[in-house]
Amino acid sequence: MAATIISPFNAKARKFVNGRKGLLRKIRADFSQNTHPIAWFHCASLGEFEQGKPVMESFKASNPEFKILVTFFSPSGYEQRKSYSGAEFIYYLPLDHPTNSRKFLSLVKPQIVFFIKYEFWYNYLNQIKEADIPLFNISGLFTPDHGFFKSNGLQRQMLSFFNHFFVQNQQSKDLLDGIGVKNVSVSGDTRFDRVIETLNNPERYPEIDQFKSDKLLMVIGSSWPEDMAVLYDFINQSDTNIKFLIAPHLVDSTSVKKLEEGLKVTFSKWTERRSDLTNDKVLIIDTIGMLSSLYQYGNFAYIGGAFRDGVHNILEAVAFGLPVVFGNKHLDKFPETLELIERGGAFSVANKGEVSDTLTRLQDDTRYRQTASDICKSYVSEKSGATKIILDHINQFL
């Protein structure tokens, strides 16, 4: 397959391949003495894991006799969450092949299965259906572009394997209904429950309080070079009333060095921070795992990714009441971006000029910023509760 061919030249592909070597033997050994029922959650990557996490934890709290199994397709999910303490078993998903799927299911013997948002693997779903194991889709999001709605073939057949779909919005339900799939509930997006958890129990970083001091703080989350290209002028020309936290999407030394080259103001890196950060204009968060809690210190935020293939998670910032700014491309993939733009809590920008105008107003107009902040808080509160809807339904299958 392609990943095997390019793995000598690509670190992510290498992890994809190496992480699956001897995997079924390891799973056999790990499960050889297991006597507990298993709830299996499959995630494509990190974003899907964050959507599934509230359900995992609520399911475990309600059913403590179960052990949690989490699988990932992508290295970016597995590598960041392979030590997650809420699951007893965490693996890459063996590639979707009739033999792999049969072996995997015979070893782990799940009593209930959750596939989160996307990821529809025919052999696994077919084997789960044949074994009569309850199977659910969580936070499903369907659009007319999906193959399910274009032909009555193998893709559409996979939908018949699920006991129930918990979808994010009415459009998804209507699309499924249009092809005869009736076992669907609009539960909403479990990410809202996830960010509320972080809102209620964020990690505290006293150094950030010291860095911010009495200034405004703009958080730049998950930025790529394309994002920084439209942000540098605003940062470098900003007045003394504002500071910046930059958490780039890539934190390897080469990427961070490239980010530094565009800064013409004083800065520090988190991993090399001094005892006194008050004189720095910018603090670069050159490590992973902190961003979701860092938004608690901000006044507004820019979220990266939209100038590439899609904006990153805006809800972590929105939950803390931060108005959010992002690029103007690929927004139709993320309903929350369009909904918040319409309500006035989020702002899309196309170029440096629009970035400067939008951020300057958020910086200078306190009432405008506070109104947008209130909109964001209300939006998250309104959208919460998907986890409870899901758990109330699936309990009848246990």
Question: What DSSP line would sit under 85-128, residue for residue?
Answer: TT-SEEEEPPPS-HHHHHHHHHHH--SEEEEESS---HHHHHHH
Q: Residue 330 in contact with residue 310, Cβ under 8 Å? A: yes
Edge-to-edge order in the sheet of strand 242-248: 267-269, 282-284, 242-248, 216-223, 300-303, 324-327, 346-349
Residue 14's pLDDT is what?
83
Instruction: Give mean pLDDT, residues 79-95.
Output: 95
Domain ranges in the chain? 2-197+384-397, 203-383
pLDDT over 70 percentage in the chain = 97
On the question of a common fold for 2-197+384-397 and 203-383, the answer reads: yes
Does the pLDDT of residue 224 top 80, yes or no?
A: yes
Q: Which residue has the tokens 């390897």?
A: 252
Instruction: Give mean pLDDT, residues 349-367.
Output: 97
Residue 15's pLDDT is what?
86
Residue 10's pLDDT is what?
62
Count H helices, E strands: the chain?
19, 14
Q: CA 159 to CA 326: how far, in whole Å?
A: 34
Instruction: Give mean pLDDT, residues 369-395.
Output: 95
Q: What are the DSSP E strand ranges found in the chain?
A: 38-43, 67-72, 89-92, 112-116, 135-140, 164-167, 184-186, 216-223, 242-248, 267-269, 282-284, 300-303, 324-327, 346-349
Q: CA 378 to CA 318: how far, in whole Å?
A: 10
What is the reported pTM? 0.83
Contact residues for 2 (Cβ-Cβ < 8 A; gap 6+): 13
Architecture category of domain 203-383 in CATH: 3-Layer(aba) Sandwich (3.40)
169-181 burial code (b ≥16 CB/10 A, e <16): beebbebbeeeeb
Beta-strand relationship, 324-327 and 300-303: parallel
What CATH number has the domain spanning 2-197+384-397? 3.40.50.11720
From first CA to last CA, the distance across the chain in angstroms is 39
Residue 393's pLDDT is what?
92
The per-residue pLDDT for range 288-331, each reduced to its tens digit, is 889 999 999 999 999 999 999 899 999 999 999 999 999 999 88
Does the pLDDT of residue 381 top 70, yes or no?
A: yes
Residue 9's pLDDT is what?
43
The per-residue pLDDT for range 35-70, each reduced to its tens digit, is 999 999 999 998 899 899 999 999 999 999 999 999
Residue 383: which of 331, 323, 339, 322 has the closest Cα?
Answer: 339
Q: CA 137 to CA 159: how far, in whole Å?
A: 10
The per-residue pLDDT for range 94-131, each reduced to its tens digit, is 999 999 999 999 999 999 999 999 889 999 999 999 99
